[in-house]
Amino acid sequence: MHTQRPIAVLLGRKSETRRTGFTLVELLVVVSIIAILISVLLPSLSRARKQAKSLLCLSNQRQLAQGWHMYASDNNDIALPGRFAKLSGGTSNPANWFDVGNGKKYRPRWVATMGKQVGVFAFNQPSTTDDRQDYDSKVYACPAVPTWIDERNYAYGYNHQFLGNGRMTEDQFHNFPVNLTKIRSLAGTVLGADCLGTAAGVAQHERKSYNNSGTDFAEMGNHGWTLDPPRLTSVSDRGTGDDGSPRTGVDPRHQKRANVVFCDGHAETMTPERLGYRYREDGAAIDLETVDDMPNNSLFSGNARNDDPPVLPQFRNPGDPT
């Protein structure tokens, strides 16, 4: 009986050895393809991460903003002040202590007062002696700048000049109380927004890194709990309220846009220019400079008009409204 012989033998050739690896050229092609895919995907992943942070920031703002209306409902239709006025005696005067939901706090800023209303408490242990506590709840932190949590040098600023400025000069409030009935356009009035603090009024090349306990006007986030409207005047408040303070302004930290919450509770991501801000060539927000396209307060005034900010008490005429 004959056995079948391999074809290669019948043809007089040795069988070829099967190749099991890649050549150098093939490896280089694969590496090149992977590199191209990474270069394409990384920017997309980065944008996705930034977008996720922006959405979380918007969610935080909307959640806290619900407390703004609740505060007015509990206080005879009066909008909350950016911060309660400082009465004599400072931290030793109980009249300067206010309930923030889980205890008393020395002159809390606006966002902690709103948080109390919705049950999101700002501090694990609020203090009646500490003026510079860090916010403990993650709802108070902007994911894009998670270290900006000092209650003074804060990530979110309040439209206090138009909605409730509790500062006092010559025993007169700068602009308080403000009744909600005075706000004609809730959906068109900024409540609060991402804020750069007084660094907004400083040239970009002169700005300094954020300092949680700092007071330098050029430091990003300095006195960020206050948000000045786009257009100021020589007789309006600005910045920290101290002599020589630059103005504050929005921070376009979310892909060149700022997150903004309005008085009706809705939130948007907007460019500073759409909000009414204008900038010098060095990046500082326009203050008192005269330019062709002037800053505009229509989204801050409460009535959709480009009104001046309230006049400081020392410049008012007798009988002028606040």
Distance CA 226, CA 223 (A): 6
Backbone angles phi, psi at 235, to 5 degrees: -115, 20
The confidence score (pLDDT) of residue 10 equals 46
The confidence score (pLDDT) of residue 6 equals 55
Distance CA 311, CA 12 (A): 106
Structure tokens at 149: 């949590």
- What is the extent of the structural domain holding 254? 49-315
98 has which bridge partners? 105
Residue 166 lies in a domain: yes
Residue 190 lies in a domain: yes
- Three-state secondary structure readout of the chain: CCCCCCHHHHCCCCCCCCCCCCCHHHHHHHHHHHHHHHHHHHHHHHHHHHHHHHHHHHHHHHHHHHHHHHHHHHCCCECCCCECCCCCCHHHCHHHEEECCCCEEECCEHHHHHHHHHCCCCCCCCCCCCCCCECCCHHHCCCCCCCCEECCCECEEECHHHHCEEEEECCEEEECCCEHHHCCCHHHCEEEEEEEEHHHHCCHHHCECCCCCCCCCCECCCCCCECCCCCCCCCECCCCCCCCCCCCEECCCECCEEEEEECCCCEEEECHHHHCCCECCCCCECCCCCCCCCCCCCCCCCCCCCCCCCECHHHCCCCCCC
Residue 10 lies in a domain: no
Residue 101 lies in a domain: yes
Residues 143-195 have pLDDT tens digits of 999 999 999 999 999 999 999 999 999 899 999 999 999 999 999 999 999 99
Structure tokens at 288: 């008192």
Let me know: does 162 contact 302? Beta carbons within 8 Å.
yes
Residue 244 lies in a domain: yes
Structural domain total, the chain = 1
Cα dihedral across residues 11, 13, 17, 23: positive or negative: negative
Residue 108 lies in a domain: yes
Residue 4 lies in a domain: no
The confidence score (pLDDT) of residue 19 equals 58
Return left, alpha or beta for 124; rule: phi > 0 is left, psi -120 to 50 is alpha, else beta. alpha
Ranges of the chain with pLDDT below 70: 1-21, 42, 44-48, 319-322
| pTM, entire model | 0.86
AA identity, residue 270 = M
Let me know: does 231 contact 295? Beta carbons within 8 Å.
yes
Residue 163 lies in a domain: yes
Return left, alpha or beta for 115; rule: phi > 0 is left, psi -120 to 50 is alpha, else beta. alpha
Let me know: does 68 contact 80? Beta carbons within 8 Å.
yes
Nearest to 225 by CA among 162, 154, 164: 154
